[in-house]
Amino acid sequence: MTALHHIELRRGTYRDSVQLLQVSQAVGVLDGVTGAMVAMGTELNVELITGMGFRVPDDATPGDMVVAIAAVDEATRDAALTALESALAAKTPQATGDSTLPPPRTVGAAVNTAGANLALISTPGRYAFADAVDALDAGASVLVFSDNVPVEQEVALKDLAAARGLLVMGPDCGTAVVGGAGLGFANVVRPGPVGLVAASGTGAQQAMTLLDAAGVGVSHCLGVGGRDLSGVVAGRSTLAALDALDADPATEVILVISKPPADEVASRVRAHASGLSKPVVFGLLGSGRPDLTAVVTEVLGVLGRSAPSPWPRWLPSEEPRDLVAPFAAASGSLRGLYSGGTLCDEAMLIASAALGPIASNIPLEPAWALGADLKADGHAMIDFGDDTLTAGRPHPMIDGTLRLERLATEAADPSCRVVLLDVVLGHGAHPDPAAELAPAIASALVAADRPFDVVIALVGSGGDPQGLERQAAALQGVGARVFSSNAEAAREAVAILNPAEVTE
């Protein structure tokens, strides 16, 4: 049956990419809808929609919203359009301020109208720089959610912010908590004494949710963008964020989290931190450095608190056992299917220390790079949230389709012994990830027809809208081994293959 294609342009209608990814998913899951994409009319999005078989009008611009729906019949199309309107309405912010005034036409005007001191920029990368400059010129710090901002523009933005006594979070800042308000992909965590400076989104989420599990809250989480501790950006926003938290009366201890940083930049940041009035704990991932769970334990120690022992976990067996499972040595490979790049890095660091090289699309060593087809013969971990795999499609924290397909592939591969993956909860993420993942795990465990395990790092808090305990119970119920600590999940996966090499 030929699908009925519906394509339309909504002129001058803008929504940010996260909202439109969620709207696309809400429409795409309807029965009888064979394809759906709702996106701004950027060159890349138009190319992707055209590749789905739609004919996009030639005059589409990045300022237009493109609606593309493929349905089996007119009734399904109409139902999909109704669902589209409902999803868009649910994402529409309520108007505030004087409704008799014309709406502001620029970011700077909006800052001045609202008297705001922080602006969130989520426009296409080519426009984000100008919008961020406009906000800084109006006297507001900025969180740049947008990616694909050239690094030269990032440096210029951060230098401009420094000159004005302001802060730039990002670009590509996916997670922040400011004064208790979560921005981007953020978990619901209690207020408290720990301030975070994070050059990592999912790394920050892991730290905040572990702190929450220990009964300790967060004052602020200032995301600085994944490139901030690179040699080029040189920690510009990290240094500014450290100073801001040092001056913040609600912050008692500061935690700095990053993917593997440039060594010279890490040294500079440590030297700067040594001159602050508050203790600073570092969670800079790298070979021989502590994992994020160990770093959170250190923070708790600074506060005079003890870490949970064990950290929350949900195992298929009702009988308690030690962290390192008493498995017999098993043949086969470890395959990691991650949505968070930092969590993937952490798992690879732990696994490679015991198992040797781990192939990846974000490899720890250049020689360990996977090919473009992502096929692996031995141990491998894939970051499905990498930019090359999210172009024109929802982030895997929103849409797990690619990971579900790969899980089935690994179950059918006799060389795969254990699959390790993350499930990240919180605002912005899939509203019920276990609803689609648990059945897929159950099917994989049956289809494997051999010793085969699934280990999950469940990153979430008790306040998250998905329901941490409900998600954990659903995943545990189909036979997955579920851990709140990604480091402990990685060690569990390694223990299944090689228990003799695993140490606490």
Spatial strand order in the sheet of 141-144: 118-121, 141-144, 168-169
pLDDT of residue 12: 83
Task: Inform me whether the pLDDT recorded for 319 exceeds 50.
Answer: no
Whole-number average pLDDT of the chain? 92
Architecture of domain 4-89: 2-Layer Sandwich (3.30)
- Of 328, 320, 314, 293, whose CA–CA distance to 481 is shortest? 314
pLDDT of residue 203: 96
pLDDT of residue 99: 60
| Cα 101 versus chain centre, distance | 37
For 80-127, the pLDDT digits (tens) are 999 999 999 887 665 555 666 678 889 999 999 999 999 999 887 888
Contact 173, 233 (CB under 8 A): no
pLDDT of residue 499: 67
Structural domain boundaries in the chain: 4-89, 107-303, 313-497
The whole model's pTM is what?
Answer: 0.86
Q: Which two tokens stand for residue 155?
A: 């440096």
| Cα 472 versus chain centre, distance | 19
Contact residues for 184 (Cβ-Cβ < 8 A; gap 6+): 18, 143, 145, 173, 174, 175, 176, 201, 223, 428
> Residue 419: pLDDT band by 50, 70, 90 thresholds?
very high
Judge if 107-303 and 313-497 fold alike in CATH terms: yes
CATH number of 107-303: 3.40.50.261
Q: How far apart are CA 456 and CA 476, in angstroms?
A: 9
pLDDT of residue 96: 58
pLDDT of residue 2: 73
Q: How far apart are CA 211 and CA 463, in angstroms?
A: 13
Pick 313-497's CATH classification: 3.40.50.880, 1.10.3720.10, 3.40.50.261, 3.30.360.10: 3.40.50.261
> Residue 33: pLDDT band by 50, 70, 90 thresholds?
very high
Biggest CA-to-CA distance, the chain: 72
For 121-148, the pLDDT digits (tens) are 988 788 899 999 999 999 999 999 988 8
Q: How far apart are CA 350 and CA 181, in angstroms?
A: 33
Burial class (CB in 10 A: 0-12, 13-18, 19+), 38: buried
Task: Inform me whether the pLDDT recorded for 253 exceeds 80.
Answer: yes
User: 3-class DSSP state for residue 40?
Assistant: strand
